[in-house]
Amino acid sequence: MPKEMELKQGAEMFQILNENGEINQGQTLPDLSDEELKDLYRWMLKIRTFDGRAIKLNRQGRLGFYAPMAGQEACQVASMAALRKSDMLFPSYRDVGTAMYHGLSMEKVFLYSRGQINGMNIPEDVNMFPPQIIIAGHVPHAAGAGWAFRLREEDHVAIAFFGDGATSEGDFHEGLNFGAVYDANTIFFTQNNQYAISVPVSKQMKSETIAQKAIAYGIYGIQVDGNDALAVYQATKEAADRARKGEGPTLIEAVTYRVGPHTMAGDDPGRYRTKEEEKNWTSEKDPLKRFRQYLESKNLWSDEEEKQVEEETLNEMNETIKKVDQMPKGTVAELMEDVYTETPAILKQQKDEYLSWKEGK
Protein backbone atom coordinates (compact mmCIF):
# COMPACT_ATOMS: atom_id res chain seq x y z
CA MET A 1 0.00 0.00 0.00
CA PRO A 2 1.26 3.51 -0.68
CA LYS A 3 2.96 5.29 2.20
CA GLU A 4 1.59 8.62 3.35
CA MET A 5 4.83 10.37 2.72
CA GLU A 6 6.46 13.52 1.56
CA LEU A 7 7.94 12.79 -1.84
CA LYS A 8 11.58 13.70 -2.14
CA GLN A 9 14.11 13.43 -4.94
CA GLY A 10 14.29 9.82 -6.08
CA ALA A 11 11.20 8.64 -4.18
CA GLU A 12 10.02 5.23 -5.34
CA MET A 13 6.98 5.11 -7.59
CA PHE A 14 4.10 3.11 -6.12
CA GLN A 15 3.37 -0.05 -8.10
CA ILE A 16 1.47 -3.26 -7.28
CA LEU A 17 1.60 -5.12 -10.62
CA ASN A 18 4.84 -5.18 -12.56
CA GLU A 19 4.90 -5.02 -16.36
CA ASN A 20 4.31 -8.77 -16.60
CA GLY A 21 1.12 -8.59 -14.56
CA GLU A 22 2.79 -10.10 -11.48
CA ILE A 23 2.31 -8.86 -7.93
CA ASN A 24 5.39 -7.10 -6.60
CA GLN A 25 6.87 -8.67 -3.49
CA GLY A 26 5.53 -7.19 -0.27
CA GLN A 27 2.56 -5.43 -1.88
CA THR A 28 -0.96 -5.78 -0.51
CA LEU A 29 -3.78 -6.09 -3.02
CA PRO A 30 -6.81 -3.77 -2.90
CA ASP A 31 -9.96 -5.21 -1.35
CA LEU A 32 -11.68 -6.07 -4.63
CA SER A 33 -13.74 -9.15 -5.46
CA ASP A 34 -13.10 -11.21 -8.58
CA GLU A 35 -16.14 -9.66 -10.26
CA GLU A 36 -14.96 -6.15 -9.39
CA LEU A 37 -11.56 -6.93 -10.89
CA LYS A 38 -13.22 -8.18 -14.07
CA ASP A 39 -15.44 -5.10 -14.22
CA LEU A 40 -12.34 -2.89 -14.02
CA TYR A 41 -10.87 -4.64 -17.02
CA ARG A 42 -14.17 -4.61 -18.93
CA TRP A 43 -14.31 -0.85 -18.60
CA MET A 44 -10.67 -0.41 -19.59
CA LEU A 45 -11.29 -2.53 -22.68
CA LYS A 46 -14.49 -0.63 -23.44
CA ILE A 47 -12.61 2.68 -23.31
CA ARG A 48 -9.80 1.31 -25.53
CA THR A 49 -12.35 0.02 -28.06
CA PHE A 50 -14.32 3.27 -27.90
CA ASP A 51 -11.16 5.27 -28.53
CA GLY A 52 -10.20 3.36 -31.67
CA ARG A 53 -13.66 3.70 -33.18
CA ALA A 54 -14.00 7.38 -32.17
CA ILE A 55 -10.79 8.20 -34.05
CA LYS A 56 -12.29 6.63 -37.20
CA LEU A 57 -15.56 8.54 -36.72
CA ASN A 58 -13.56 11.77 -36.42
CA ARG A 59 -11.73 11.03 -39.66
CA GLN A 60 -15.09 10.37 -41.34
CA GLY A 61 -16.29 13.82 -40.25
CA ARG A 62 -18.96 12.35 -37.97
CA LEU A 63 -17.30 13.58 -34.77
CA GLY A 64 -15.73 16.96 -34.11
CA PHE A 65 -13.09 17.64 -31.50
CA TYR A 66 -11.56 14.47 -30.09
CA ALA A 67 -8.55 13.81 -27.84
CA PRO A 68 -7.44 10.14 -27.91
CA MET A 69 -7.30 8.30 -24.58
CA ALA A 70 -5.46 5.09 -25.51
CA GLY A 71 -2.76 4.25 -22.97
CA GLN A 72 -4.48 6.07 -20.11
CA GLU A 73 -7.31 3.62 -19.40
CA ALA A 74 -5.97 2.47 -16.03
CA CYS A 75 -5.70 6.09 -14.88
CA GLN A 76 -9.24 6.94 -15.87
CA VAL A 77 -11.14 3.79 -14.95
CA ALA A 78 -9.37 2.56 -11.82
CA SER A 79 -9.37 6.00 -10.20
CA MET A 80 -13.10 6.48 -10.70
CA ALA A 81 -13.78 2.92 -9.53
CA ALA A 82 -12.24 3.89 -6.20
CA LEU A 83 -14.79 6.69 -5.73
CA ARG A 84 -18.53 6.89 -5.19
CA LYS A 85 -21.25 7.98 -7.61
CA SER A 86 -21.99 10.84 -5.20
CA ASP A 87 -18.46 12.25 -5.63
CA MET A 88 -17.95 15.17 -8.03
CA LEU A 89 -15.90 14.76 -11.19
CA PHE A 90 -14.05 17.60 -12.92
CA PRO A 91 -12.65 16.14 -16.17
CA SER A 92 -10.54 17.76 -18.86
CA TYR A 93 -11.07 17.21 -22.57
CA ARG A 94 -9.13 13.90 -22.68
CA ASP A 95 -11.06 12.37 -19.80
CA VAL A 96 -14.34 11.23 -21.34
CA GLY A 97 -13.42 7.76 -20.05
CA THR A 98 -13.83 9.03 -16.48
CA ALA A 99 -17.10 10.67 -17.43
CA MET A 100 -18.53 7.55 -19.07
CA TYR A 101 -17.56 5.41 -16.08
CA HIS A 102 -19.22 7.97 -13.78
CA GLY A 103 -22.47 7.69 -15.75
CA LEU A 104 -22.34 10.07 -18.72
CA SER A 105 -23.94 8.42 -21.74
CA MET A 106 -22.15 7.76 -25.02
CA GLU A 107 -24.75 9.94 -26.70
CA LYS A 108 -23.73 12.92 -24.55
CA VAL A 109 -20.07 12.29 -25.34
CA PHE A 110 -20.79 12.31 -29.08
CA LEU A 111 -22.90 15.46 -28.84
CA TYR A 112 -20.15 17.18 -26.87
CA SER A 113 -17.60 16.27 -29.53
CA ARG A 114 -19.88 17.65 -32.25
CA GLY A 115 -20.24 20.95 -30.41
CA GLN A 116 -23.94 20.59 -29.68
CA ILE A 117 -25.34 22.21 -26.55
CA ASN A 118 -26.98 19.05 -25.21
CA GLY A 119 -23.57 17.44 -24.92
CA MET A 120 -22.70 19.95 -22.20
CA ASN A 121 -26.04 19.61 -20.42
CA ILE A 122 -25.10 17.13 -17.70
CA PRO A 123 -27.95 14.94 -16.34
CA GLU A 124 -28.98 15.53 -12.74
CA ASP A 125 -27.95 12.04 -11.69
CA VAL A 126 -24.38 12.38 -13.00
CA ASN A 127 -22.19 14.30 -10.57
CA MET A 128 -19.74 15.99 -12.88
CA PHE A 129 -18.96 19.26 -14.59
CA PRO A 130 -18.59 19.39 -18.39
CA PRO A 131 -15.11 18.55 -19.72
CA GLN A 132 -12.82 21.55 -19.43
CA ILE A 133 -10.96 22.73 -22.52
CA ILE A 134 -8.97 25.49 -20.79
CA ILE A 135 -5.79 23.89 -19.44
CA ALA A 136 -6.05 23.61 -15.61
CA GLY A 137 -9.07 25.93 -15.60
CA HIS A 138 -11.10 23.44 -13.59
CA VAL A 139 -8.50 22.84 -10.85
CA PRO A 140 -9.66 25.80 -8.71
CA HIS A 141 -13.27 24.72 -9.27
CA ALA A 142 -12.49 21.26 -7.87
CA ALA A 143 -10.77 22.86 -4.90
CA GLY A 144 -13.86 24.99 -4.31
CA ALA A 145 -16.20 22.01 -4.53
CA GLY A 146 -14.03 20.10 -2.07
CA TRP A 147 -14.10 23.06 0.30
CA ALA A 148 -17.91 23.22 0.01
CA PHE A 149 -18.16 19.55 0.94
CA ARG A 150 -15.99 20.20 3.97
CA LEU A 151 -18.01 23.27 5.07
CA ARG A 152 -21.22 21.28 4.79
CA GLU A 153 -19.66 18.38 6.69
CA GLU A 154 -20.42 16.08 3.77
CA ASP A 155 -18.16 13.13 3.06
CA HIS A 156 -18.20 13.69 -0.70
CA VAL A 157 -14.96 14.12 -2.64
CA ALA A 158 -14.13 16.25 -5.68
CA ILE A 159 -11.57 14.99 -8.19
CA ALA A 160 -9.94 16.94 -11.01
CA PHE A 161 -8.10 15.23 -13.87
CA PHE A 162 -5.46 17.05 -15.89
CA GLY A 163 -2.23 16.45 -17.78
CA ASP A 164 1.39 17.18 -16.96
CA GLY A 165 1.24 20.38 -19.01
CA ALA A 166 -1.42 21.75 -16.66
CA THR A 167 1.12 21.87 -13.83
CA SER A 168 2.78 24.79 -15.63
CA GLU A 169 -0.41 26.85 -15.38
CA GLY A 170 -1.21 29.28 -12.60
CA ASP A 171 -4.61 27.69 -12.02
CA PHE A 172 -2.88 24.47 -10.96
CA HIS A 173 -0.89 26.20 -8.23
CA GLU A 174 -3.77 28.42 -7.14
CA GLY A 175 -6.08 25.42 -6.90
CA LEU A 176 -3.60 23.36 -4.87
CA ASN A 177 -2.84 26.24 -2.54
CA PHE A 178 -6.52 27.01 -1.94
CA GLY A 179 -7.38 23.36 -1.44
CA ALA A 180 -4.50 22.90 0.97
CA VAL A 181 -5.22 25.99 3.08
CA TYR A 182 -8.89 25.07 3.49
CA ASP A 183 -8.40 21.30 3.82
CA ALA A 184 -10.67 20.69 0.83
CA ASN A 185 -12.07 17.23 0.14
CA THR A 186 -10.25 17.24 -3.19
CA ILE A 187 -8.05 14.88 -5.19
CA PHE A 188 -5.81 16.50 -7.79
CA PHE A 189 -5.09 13.74 -10.32
CA THR A 190 -2.28 14.38 -12.80
CA GLN A 191 -2.03 12.04 -15.76
CA ASN A 192 1.63 12.49 -16.62
CA ASN A 193 1.51 11.17 -20.20
CA GLN A 194 5.00 12.57 -20.94
CA TYR A 195 4.00 15.36 -23.33
CA ALA A 196 2.02 18.60 -23.28
CA ILE A 197 1.22 18.43 -27.00
CA SER A 198 4.85 18.32 -28.21
CA VAL A 199 6.58 19.64 -25.07
CA PRO A 200 8.20 16.84 -23.01
CA VAL A 201 8.05 16.76 -19.22
CA SER A 202 11.73 17.70 -19.04
CA LYS A 203 10.80 21.08 -20.55
CA GLN A 204 7.80 21.52 -18.27
CA MET A 205 9.66 21.42 -14.98
CA LYS A 206 13.00 20.94 -13.26
CA SER A 207 11.66 18.88 -10.35
CA GLU A 208 12.11 15.14 -10.62
CA THR A 209 8.42 14.40 -10.09
CA ILE A 210 5.13 16.23 -10.22
CA ALA A 211 3.99 14.54 -7.02
CA GLN A 212 6.71 16.20 -4.94
CA LYS A 213 5.13 19.59 -5.66
CA ALA A 214 2.67 18.59 -2.93
CA ILE A 215 5.40 19.31 -0.37
CA ALA A 216 5.23 23.03 -1.10
CA TYR A 217 1.53 23.09 -0.27
CA GLY A 218 1.69 20.88 2.80
CA ILE A 219 -0.53 18.13 1.38
CA TYR A 220 -0.10 14.44 0.62
CA GLY A 221 1.59 13.59 -2.64
CA ILE A 222 2.23 10.26 -4.31
CA GLN A 223 3.66 9.13 -7.64
CA VAL A 224 1.95 5.99 -8.93
CA ASP A 225 2.45 3.77 -11.95
CA GLY A 226 -0.44 5.02 -14.06
CA ASN A 227 -0.45 1.84 -16.17
CA ASP A 228 -1.06 -0.32 -13.10
CA ALA A 229 -4.81 -0.36 -12.49
CA LEU A 230 -4.51 -1.81 -8.99
CA ALA A 231 -1.97 0.79 -7.87
CA VAL A 232 -4.11 3.62 -9.29
CA TYR A 233 -7.18 2.23 -7.53
CA GLN A 234 -5.40 1.91 -4.18
CA ALA A 235 -3.78 5.35 -4.32
CA THR A 236 -7.09 7.02 -5.20
CA LYS A 237 -9.02 5.06 -2.58
CA GLU A 238 -6.61 6.12 0.16
CA ALA A 239 -6.71 9.74 -1.02
CA ALA A 240 -10.51 9.68 -0.90
CA ASP A 241 -10.51 8.10 2.55
CA ARG A 242 -8.21 10.83 3.88
CA ALA A 243 -10.41 13.54 2.39
CA ARG A 244 -13.58 12.04 3.85
CA LYS A 245 -11.93 12.04 7.29
CA GLY A 246 -11.09 15.74 6.94
CA GLU A 247 -7.36 15.23 6.38
CA GLY A 248 -7.19 17.44 3.32
CA PRO A 249 -6.41 17.02 -0.37
CA THR A 250 -3.96 14.75 -2.20
CA LEU A 251 -1.89 15.29 -5.32
CA ILE A 252 -1.57 12.08 -7.35
CA GLU A 253 0.86 11.84 -10.22
CA ALA A 254 0.03 8.86 -12.42
CA VAL A 255 2.92 8.12 -14.77
CA THR A 256 1.47 6.94 -18.08
CA TYR A 257 1.69 7.51 -21.83
CA ARG A 258 -0.50 9.01 -24.53
CA VAL A 259 -0.37 6.48 -27.36
CA GLY A 260 -2.08 8.59 -30.02
CA PRO A 261 -1.83 12.25 -31.02
CA HIS A 262 -2.63 15.09 -28.64
CA THR A 263 -5.90 15.64 -30.50
CA MET A 264 -7.22 14.75 -33.93
CA ALA A 265 -6.74 18.36 -35.03
CA GLY A 266 -3.53 17.77 -36.97
CA ASP A 267 -1.02 16.78 -34.28
CA ASP A 268 1.75 14.44 -35.51
CA PRO A 269 3.53 12.65 -32.61
CA GLY A 270 6.19 11.40 -35.02
CA ARG A 271 7.64 14.89 -35.14
CA TYR A 272 8.55 14.97 -31.46
CA ARG A 273 8.95 11.38 -30.22
CA THR A 274 10.71 8.28 -31.50
CA LYS A 275 9.32 4.95 -32.65
CA GLU A 276 11.50 3.22 -30.06
CA GLU A 277 9.91 5.24 -27.27
CA GLU A 278 6.41 4.50 -28.51
CA LYS A 279 7.16 0.78 -28.82
CA ASN A 280 8.52 0.65 -25.27
CA TRP A 281 5.31 2.08 -23.84
CA THR A 282 2.85 0.28 -26.09
CA SER A 283 4.38 -3.20 -26.11
CA GLU A 284 6.06 -3.36 -22.71
CA LYS A 285 3.94 -1.13 -20.47
CA ASP A 286 0.44 -1.31 -21.94
CA PRO A 287 -2.09 -1.10 -19.06
CA LEU A 288 -4.58 -3.50 -20.66
CA LYS A 289 -1.98 -6.12 -21.45
CA ARG A 290 -0.64 -5.99 -17.90
CA PHE A 291 -4.02 -6.24 -16.20
CA ARG A 292 -5.24 -8.97 -18.51
CA GLN A 293 -2.15 -11.05 -17.74
CA TYR A 294 -2.97 -10.71 -14.05
CA LEU A 295 -6.60 -11.74 -14.58
CA GLU A 296 -5.59 -14.70 -16.73
CA SER A 297 -3.22 -15.87 -13.99
CA LYS A 298 -6.32 -16.08 -11.76
CA ASN A 299 -8.41 -17.74 -14.50
CA LEU A 300 -10.70 -14.70 -14.58
CA TRP A 301 -10.58 -13.75 -18.28
CA SER A 302 -10.83 -15.39 -21.67
CA ASP A 303 -10.64 -14.56 -25.38
CA GLU A 304 -14.40 -15.04 -25.62
CA GLU A 305 -15.06 -12.39 -22.96
CA GLU A 306 -12.61 -10.05 -24.69
CA LYS A 307 -14.43 -10.39 -27.99
CA GLN A 308 -17.83 -9.95 -26.36
CA VAL A 309 -16.88 -6.62 -24.73
CA GLU A 310 -15.40 -5.32 -27.98
CA GLU A 311 -18.48 -6.31 -30.00
CA GLU A 312 -20.91 -4.83 -27.46
CA THR A 313 -19.00 -1.56 -27.39
CA LEU A 314 -18.83 -1.25 -31.18
CA ASN A 315 -22.52 -2.11 -31.52
CA GLU A 316 -23.45 0.55 -28.95
CA MET A 317 -21.27 3.09 -30.74
CA ASN A 318 -22.79 2.27 -34.13
CA GLU A 319 -26.34 2.66 -32.84
CA THR A 320 -25.49 5.85 -30.96
CA ILE A 321 -23.75 7.60 -33.85
CA LYS A 322 -26.69 6.76 -36.15
CA LYS A 323 -29.03 8.40 -33.63
CA VAL A 324 -26.79 11.44 -33.22
CA ASP A 325 -26.40 11.82 -37.01
CA GLN A 326 -30.17 12.27 -37.27
CA MET A 327 -30.38 14.97 -34.61
CA PRO A 328 -30.72 18.61 -35.69
CA LYS A 329 -27.57 20.71 -35.61
CA GLY A 330 -27.14 23.23 -32.85
CA THR A 331 -28.02 26.90 -33.25
CA VAL A 332 -26.27 30.09 -32.22
CA ALA A 333 -29.14 30.95 -29.87
CA GLU A 334 -28.59 27.71 -27.95
CA LEU A 335 -25.08 28.83 -27.01
CA MET A 336 -26.65 31.16 -24.46
CA GLU A 337 -28.67 28.45 -22.75
CA ASP A 338 -27.67 26.34 -19.72
CA VAL A 339 -24.93 28.79 -18.73
CA TYR A 340 -26.64 30.76 -15.96
CA THR A 341 -29.48 29.87 -13.59
CA GLU A 342 -30.95 33.25 -14.50
CA THR A 343 -29.79 34.66 -17.83
CA PRO A 344 -28.25 38.16 -17.40
CA ALA A 345 -30.07 41.03 -19.10
CA ILE A 346 -27.19 41.71 -21.48
CA LEU A 347 -27.31 38.12 -22.81
CA LYS A 348 -31.09 38.31 -23.20
CA GLN A 349 -30.62 41.50 -25.20
CA GLN A 350 -27.96 39.89 -27.41
CA LYS A 351 -30.15 36.85 -28.00
CA ASP A 352 -33.14 39.02 -28.96
CA GLU A 353 -30.95 41.04 -31.33
CA TYR A 354 -29.62 37.89 -32.94
CA LEU A 355 -33.07 36.35 -33.39
CA SER A 356 -34.40 39.64 -34.81
CA TRP A 357 -31.47 39.79 -37.24
CA LYS A 358 -31.98 36.17 -38.28
CA GLU A 359 -35.70 36.68 -38.93
CA GLY A 360 -34.93 39.71 -41.06
CA LYS A 361 -32.54 37.86 -43.36
Query: One of 138, 262, 290, 292 is an active-site residue; which one?
Result: 262
**What H or E segment, with its residue span, contains residue 195?**
strand 195-196
User: In terms of C-beta density within 10 A (0-12 exposed, 13-18 middle, 19 or more buried), how is residue 105 classed?
Assistant: middle
Tell which residue, 140, 138, 130, has the closest CA to residue 161: 138
Query: What length is written for the chain?
Result: 361
Q: Concatenated DSSP letters for 43-94?
A: HHHHHHHHHHHHHHHHHTTSS-S----TT-HHHHHHHHHTS-TTSEEE-BTT
Does the annotation count 258 as an active-site position?
A: yes
> Which H/E stretch holds residue 163?
strand 158-163
**How far is residue 245's CA from residue 83's CA, in Å, rounded to a whole number?**
14
272 is catalytic: yes
CA distances from 341 to 144, 336, 337, 338, 344 (A): 19, 11, 9, 7, 9
Catalytic, out of 59, 84, 152, 272: 272
Of residues 114, 258, 290, 292, which has the active-site annotation? 258
102 DSSP 8-state letter? H
- 173 is annotated as an active-site residue: no
Active site members: 258, 262, 272
